[in-house]
Amino acid sequence: AQTVTQSQPEMSVQEAETVTLSCTYDTSESDYYLFWYKQPPSRQMILVIRQEAYKQQNATENRFSVNFQKAAKSFSLKISDSQLGDAAMYFCAYRASPRFGTYKYIFGTGTRLKVLA
């Protein structure tokens, strides 16, 4: 069974600095998708960035980028130039490729990010 592990319950970063959130996963499949979601106190989950496992190039979305290490089954999120609005819970999520007949997302336990002014 697939699992997703986020080993950092909480992280802090100074405003304008860079922070990296860690995520590891376990799967026997070769084709899948990985996501980072942000959940502010308002509770609505918002997609931050996604990565297809078959793509070697790391995904980037403005200040957010990932370090995808497929062999190590590692998928970390780097936030550059941190802003106060980045403070939230961040969840790493795994989804198998639909070719394998499974669709469900598996979420990690989350990392609470605090941004210090």
Partner 1 sequence: EAGVAQSPRYKIIEKRQSVAFWCNPISGHATLYWYQQILGQGPKLLIQFQNNGVVDDSQLPKDRFSAERLKGVDSTLKIQPAKLEDSAVYLCASSSWGGSNQPQHFGDGTRLSIL
Q: Which residue in this structure is represented by tokens 């100074």?
A: 14
When asked if residue 11 is in the footprint of partner 1 (CB under 8 A), the reply is: no
* Contact pick of 2, 8, 33, 76 for partner 1 (by CB under 8 A): 33
Q: How far is the CB of 29 from partner 1 (least distance, A)?
A: 14
CA distance 99 to 115: 40
* Contact pick of 47, 69, 83, 84 for partner 1 (by CB under 8 A): 47
The answer to whether residues 36 and 77 touch, using CB atoms and an 8 Å cutoff, is: yes
Which C-beta is closer to partner 1: that of 17 or that of 33?
33
CA distance 36 to 91: 6
The answer to whether residues 28 and 100 touch, using CB atoms and an 8 Å cutoff, is: no
Interacting residue ranges for partner 1, rule: CB under 8 A:
4, 33, 35, 42-47, 50, 52, 91, 93, 95, 98, 102-110
